[in-house]
Structure 1
Amino acid sequence: MTKMSGTTNSSARRAPIKALHVGSGDPVLLLHGFMLSPHCWEQVALRLSSHCEVFAPAFAGHWGGEPIDGWSIDFHFLADRIEDQLDELGWRTCHIAGNSLGGWVGFELARRGRARTLTAIAPAGGWQSPSLAQWRAGAKFLAMVPIVEIGKRLGGFAIDNPIAQRLALLALSKNVAAVSRRDVAAMITAALHCDAMLPMILGSTRGPALDDLSNLAIPVRLLMAEYDRIVPNRVYARRFLQELPDSADRILVNGVGHVPMLEAPDRIATLIAEHIYASRTHLRAV
């Protein structure tokens, strides 16, 4: 596991991270998105670590994560592996924040009774199964397979190329100038080292949907990214908006893309921390 410090060498190429583990206090689990890695949580984890013990692991089959076997996996499989890690830490329950695929897995962990609170940031999985929305999501990522294969062959040129970096940022961020080139390079590297790409695409287009969300008993905060180009709100947030309990917070985060931790770490850290602290005193955020 990687212990974080307050400073980083901006010129150094990132190494894979099995897990970030930093701080002390309330246990907080941070889950990254599909084809990404714990790197995308570094700035948020640093901000939360003053009052929380933060654990941000790499998903199985992702850059830094444990290897996978088989040709098809789904969010249940990833949740099983995360539960094993929580058991190793001695965390029966914890606060969970997940982005995209991480939000999808976060809902499953909440259903299993492992969450004290859940902050779902631009979560994936907001579809029924089978459904057109489910197949469209799978087709979108399947179309990326040739691009990733070309990037693997180009190696460092693809990772450090300004054009490739800008194209990646345009897909995941709104304010591209707010994201460092080092963070973009880590994001591209993670995508090129994601062995779970095809197995996850196959599993998610064939597998079951999330169970009914209306009976979640924990405090839930849904953060929708205004400029989400990966799982646009008008299609993929509809189920979350309709099914989550009335007590759940529903927040549109203005001016950010699908992975807002990269471009707005202060805002995202604050929104997660607010949700955690409100649960202590049973206050609702307004």
Structure 2
Amino acid sequence: MTMSSDTSKSKADAKRATSASVPAKPEPTRPQVLKALHVGSGDPLLLLHGFMLSPHCWEQTAARLSSQCEVFAPAFAGHWGGEPADGWSVDIHALADRIEDQLDELGWRTCHIAGNSLGGWVGVELARRGRARTLTLIAPAGGWHIPSLAQLRTCLKFLSLVPVIQIGKRLGGFAINNPVIQRLALLPLSKNAAAVSRRDTAAAITATLNCPAMLSIIVGTARGPEQEDLSTLQTPVRLLLSEYDRVIPNRAYARRYLKELPDSADRIVVHGVGHVPMLEAPDRIATLIAEHVYASRNRLRAV
């Protein structure tokens, strides 16, 4: 009888010990707001994120570039982490003005610039102002005439997100951390959702739900003015087009970039990635940026 009692007690103790040794699964948490990412040392490199996103999308790429460059990735005005954007209409020039102010605060008269989507469009404007040593455009927006059918489709595509965003705000943390919702959110942003970490996906969703200037920027970019002829750019340019871009597909939206950029510009299709390739292929994007940065100095360095 005693032996049986001791055996039961030992099993109970062993069960408690096993339970104690297995750490509890951490609860998902909301990503922290990020006003700007500033890491590394070396050549100054400005990274500009896309519409309704945040500097979080650059974290992995910036980490890979930080051994060779001083990387600065700010949040756009009116976006999550950025300064408030004044007025009911915010255009590319207004966004570029604030980025210029930040460059002046850093003491960067010129820098290398890489921009994704809206960030690419702003990067072109900064290059026209003489602020870019090199320019890497990653699935850049703005490759349409104003007015045009392509421009109208783009505006309607983003306006259709308004009710979805309102629902997401009501769902709160559930919308940010739910695996099913995360997969759905990645459909327009990536080709291979499994390659994107849950943390990066949560940050992308949080940024989308917290973009107060969404409508102001849609109105501002719709009203124009449109981009000037891209053939006048004096900055060395590398154009990176995502093979599976579902937001602004290459066939309809990359024509101006492909046609008008100077013959000296690189034109590269990045295979197997979506509209925000830094999320699923940070190594490849870092390498392609670094190659362009250092080719401009007539020497090669490994990333």
4+ residue runs of structure 1 moved beyond 2 angstroms?
Answer: 9-13
Instruction: Provide structure 2 residue ranges, at least 5 long, that are not aligned to the other structure.
Output: 1-25
Mapped partners of 1:85, 1:243: distance in 2: 30
Q: Deviations over 1:152-202 (max 9, x none)?
A: 111111111112111111111001100011110110000000011110111
Q: Secondary structure at the match of 1:29?
A: strand
Tell me the distance in 1 between the aligned counterparts of 2:111 and 2:228: 21
Structure 1 residue identity aligned to 2:139: A
- Is residue 11–residue 182 contact of structure 1 (8 Å, CA) maintained in 2? no
1:142 aligns with 2:159: yes
- The Cα shift of 1:13 comes to 3.2
What TM-score, normalized by structure 1, do the two folds share?
A: 0.94
Does the CA contact (< 8 Å) of 1:117 and 1:279 recur in 2?
Answer: yes
Amino acid across the alignment from 1:138: C
How far apart in 2 are the matches of 1:142 and 1:11? 30
* 2:133 maps to 1:78: no
Deviates more, 1:259-268 or 1:156-165: 156-165
Candidates 241, 249, 258, aligned match of 2:258: 241
Report the Cα offset of residue 259 of structure 1.
0.2
Structure 1 residues 209, 10: closer, same or farther in 2, change over 3 A? farther
Instruction: Give the deviation of 1:87 after TM superposition.
Output: 0.4
Find the residue that maps to 2:181 and give its secondary structure.
helix
Task: Please show how residues 165-180 of structure 1 align to structure 2 within 5 Å.
Answer: 165-180=182-197
Name the CA distance, whole Å, in 1 between partners of 2:27 and 2:262: 43
- Pairing of 1:147-186 with structure 2 (within 5 A): 147-186=164-203
What is the distance in 1 between the residues matched to 2:56 and 2:149? 32
Q: Distance in 1 between matches of 2:252 and 2:226?
A: 15
2: CA distance, partners of 1:117 / 1:11: 39
CA contact (8 A) 1:10 1:182 kept: no
Partner in structure 2 of residue 212 of structure 1? 229
Aligned to 2:280: 263
Determine the C-alpha separation between the residues in 2 that align with 1:19 and 1:76: 20
| Residues 19-67 of structure 1: CA deviation (Å, up to 9, x unaligned) | 0000110000000000000000000000000010000000001000001
Question: Partner letter of residue 122 of structure 2?
Answer: V
Aligned in 2, Cα 1:104/1:10: closer, same or farther, shift over 3 Å?
farther
Distance 2:292 2:29 in 1: 34
Q: Map 1:47-126 to 2 at 5 A.
A: 47-126=64-143
Return the alpha-carbon distance in structure 1 between the equivalents of residues 209 and 110 of structure 2.
33
Question: Does 2:27 match 1:20?
Answer: no
Task: For residue 261 of structure 1, give the secondary structure of its aligned residue in structure 2.
Answer: coil
Q: 1:6 aligns to what? A: none
Supply the distance in 2 between the matched residues of 1:113 and 1:140 (Cα, whole angstroms). 33
Distance (Å, rounded) in 2 between the aligned partners of 1:139 and 1:156: 27
Whose radius of gyration is greater, 1 or 2? 2
- The answer for the alignment partner of 2:289 in structure 1 is 272
- For the 8 Å contact 1:62–1:196, the answer to whether it is kept is yes
Deviation by residue 1:232-267 (Cα, 9 ceiling, x = unmatched):
000100000000000000000000000000000000
The equivalent position to 1:43 in structure 2, one of 55, 60, 73, is 60
Q: Quick one: distance in 1 between partners of 2:104 and 2:159?
A: 34
Q: TM-score, normalised by structure 2?
A: 0.89
Give the distance between the partners of 1:104 and 1:176, measured in 2 at CA: 26
Task: Quote the offset at 1:70 in angstroms.
Answer: 1.2
Deviates more, 1:63-72 or 1:42-51: 63-72
Aligned with 1:41: secondary structure?
helix
**Are the equivalent residues in 1 in contact too, given 2:242–2:271 (CA < 8 A)?**
yes
Q: Distance in 2 between matches of 1:232 and 1:216?
A: 23
3-state SS in 2 of match to 1:199: helix
Q: Distance in 1 between matches of 2:227 and 2:93?
A: 10
Residue identity in the other structure for 2:82:
G
Percent identity, aligned pairs only? 77
Counterpart in the other structure of 2:207? 190
